[in-house]
């Protein structure tokens, strides 16, 4: 059984066709990357697959659950790092992870929070309100929250964007270990050099349609790197 299966996914916002009949399968244990120009439909796709948005037409199954019929069950099983959201401003860093852990009924919560505080060196932020944290620290907290319940599938929208090179590398290594341990990652990103190092398979979306899909080698084709191939594919 695939981790993600989308069939004929369409999303219309008024007169805007954000997704036009997307077919997509992501196998369990894959690191899958979704790339595309601004406004191509990546966030819309992610929001549908994570049960936050209903498609206009089509179906999507995530971990063998229908995302439209069972969005809560889907959300309980997956981890999400959305593109723009931040942890709530009125909680401290510790309170936020504690809150997420309670909602997700995480066992051994204190130990897991301690591990993530150590992994991202968050001790100084422990008692600070989230609104006073730097963008990078907020991003680290969102990542910790997404992995706190040890989900088997995570959806990451630009997970590297606010991290410095030290933590980009740490996150990269963590995600590689996560995949080796059997996890599945669906990542939307514009950072093709990082994606090239991590992804098993990628898809390029443009104007709401998938215009290329395959292994990183297949998509790279004769080009020297994924970025050049991407520019060719989208005709830039």
> Which residues of this protein are in contact with ligand ATP, per CB under 6 A?
13, 16, 18, 36, 38-44
Nearest distance from residue 236's CB to ligand ATP, in Å? Answer: 14
Nearest distance from residue 188's CB to ligand ATP, in Å? Answer: 7
Nearest distance from residue 71's CB to ligand ATP, in Å? Answer: 17
Cβ closer to ligand ATP: 143 or 188?
188
Cβ closer to ligand ATP: 39 or 108?
39
Cβ closer to ligand ATP: 14 or 111?
14
φ, ψ of residue 221 to 5 degrees: the values are: 55, -135
- Sheet with 184-188, strands from edge to edge, namely 78-81, 153-157, 184-188, 31-35, 201-206, 209-215
Cβ closer to ligand ATP: 47 or 112?
47
Nearest distance from residue 52's CB to ligand ATP, in Å? Answer: 11
């Amino acid at each position: 059984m695939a981790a993600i299966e989308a069939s004929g996914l369409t999303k219309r916002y008024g007169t805007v066709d954000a997704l036009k009949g997307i077919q997509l399968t992501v196998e369990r244990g894959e690191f899958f990357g979704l790339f595309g120009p601004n406004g191509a439909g990546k966030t819309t796709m992610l929001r549908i697959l994570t049960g936050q948005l209903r498609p206009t037409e089509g179906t999507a199954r995530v971990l063998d659950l229908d995302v439209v019929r069972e969005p809560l069950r889907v959300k309980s099983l997956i981890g999400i790092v959305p593109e723009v959201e931040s942890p709530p401003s009125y909680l401290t860093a510790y309170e936020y992870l504690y809150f997420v852990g309670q909602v997700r009924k995480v066992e051994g919560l204190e130990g897991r929070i301690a591990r993530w505080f150590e992994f991202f060196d968050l001790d100084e932020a422990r008692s600070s309100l989230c609104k006073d944290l730097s963008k990078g620290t907020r991003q680290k907290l969102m990542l910790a929250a997404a992995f706190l319940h040890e989900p088997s599938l995570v959806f990451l929208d630009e997970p590297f964007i606010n991290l410095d090179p030290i933590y980009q590398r740490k996150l990269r290594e963590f995600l590689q270990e996560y995949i080796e341990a059997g996890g599945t990652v669906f990542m939307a990103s514009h950072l093709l050099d990082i994606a090239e190092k991590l992804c098993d398979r990628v898809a390029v979306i443009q104007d709401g349609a998938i215009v290329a899909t395959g292994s990183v080698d297949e998509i790279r084709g004769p080009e020297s790197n994924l970025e050049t191939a991407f520019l060719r594919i989208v005709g830039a």
